[in-house]
Structure formats: C-alpha cells, structure tokens
Structure 1
Amino acid sequence: MTNVPSASVSPELVAIMKTALDTAVDRTERSHRTPATKAKMAQRIVRTASEGVTDLHVLMSAAVEEARVPAA
C-alpha cells in the first residue's frame, strides 16, 4: 500500500476520496462488491491521490477501473 504522510492529506481530500470510493462501489457490479475488491479500489484511490490527483471524477474512475477485475 502507498504510504502518504498524514500531514499531507487534508480533511477535504479525505472527504473527496471517501465520496469517490462510495460512488465507485455503487457503480460496480454486485458480484464484485466484496470487501477485498473494495479494499483494492481504496488502495487505487490512495495511490492515484498520492500522485497529485484530487479530482473526484478521476479518482472514482480509477476505482471503478480497478473493480473490473475483482480481488481474489
């Protein structure tokens, strides 16, 4: 998992990432909505945000893309 120093993550970014994950999960096939896949999606959001991306739609799209192949 990507390590992002907590001091560098604003409350606003945390809220954006949570919204991105919640929305992405809602857009994922029900059969793929497992805790492991959700964790994989969250990791993708954190990784993408650590690269400087803060746009809600970009983070959400990255998570949806990650869920196309469910976690084992």
Structure 2
Amino acid sequence: MSQVPPQKFDAEYVAHLRELLNIAVEQIGPEHRTPATKAKMAEALVRNAADGITDAHHLMDVTVRAGEDGTA
C-alpha cells in the first residue's frame, strides 16, 4: 500500500468541513449519533476531502452514508 502525502487544510476550510460534519450528523437517526459514529463520519469526510473532493454535496453524501448504519 502506498502512502499519500498528508493534505494541508487552512483554518477556513477546516471550519467548513466541521460545519459539513455537524449538518451530516443531524441527517442520521438520533440512535446512531454516538461519538464513535461521529468520528467515523469525520474520517470519511476528511479522507474524501484529502483525496481532492471539493463538492459539498458529494462530501455530505459520503459523510452521511458513513454514519447511517451506526455500526461504529
């Protein structure tokens, strides 16, 4: 497995990602809103952003999907 250099996000973009995460968490069932699920969702969000995804709708979709099953 190859290593990808870490992506650097400025403070403004980090704030944007945090806002997207908070919105995404509100879109999953309350029974799944655990710290572990939120961490799983944050990981999916940051991973996709680091891969170059910039479309907020796409980032929101992958983040919500990561939290929907609540298995974290």
2:10 is matched with which residue? 10
1:69 is matched with which residue? 69
SS at match of 1:59: helix
Q: Give the letter for the 1:32 counterpart.
A: H
**Aligned 8 A contact 1:45 1:62 in 2:** yes
**Aligned 8 A contact 1:16 1:56 in 2:** no
**Aligned 8 A contact 1:25 1:64 in 2:** yes
Count how many residue pairs are aligned between Structure 1 and Structure 2: 69
Runs of at least 5 residues in structure 2 that lack an aligned partner in the other structure: none
Matches within 5 A, 1:1-72: 4-5=6-7, 8-72=8-72
Distance 1:20 1:10, change over 3 A: same
The Cα shift of 1:54 comes to: 2.1
The Cα shift of 1:37 comes to: 0.2
- Which has more radius of gyration? 2
Which stretches of structure 1, 4 residues or longer, exceed 4 Å deviation after superposition? none
Deviations 1:15-62 (A, max 9, x none): 221111000001110010000000000000010011011222221111
Q: Give the letter for the 1:58 counterpart.
A: H
- Aligned residues: CA RMSD: 1.9
Runs of at least 5 residues in structure 1 that lack an aligned partner in the other structure: none
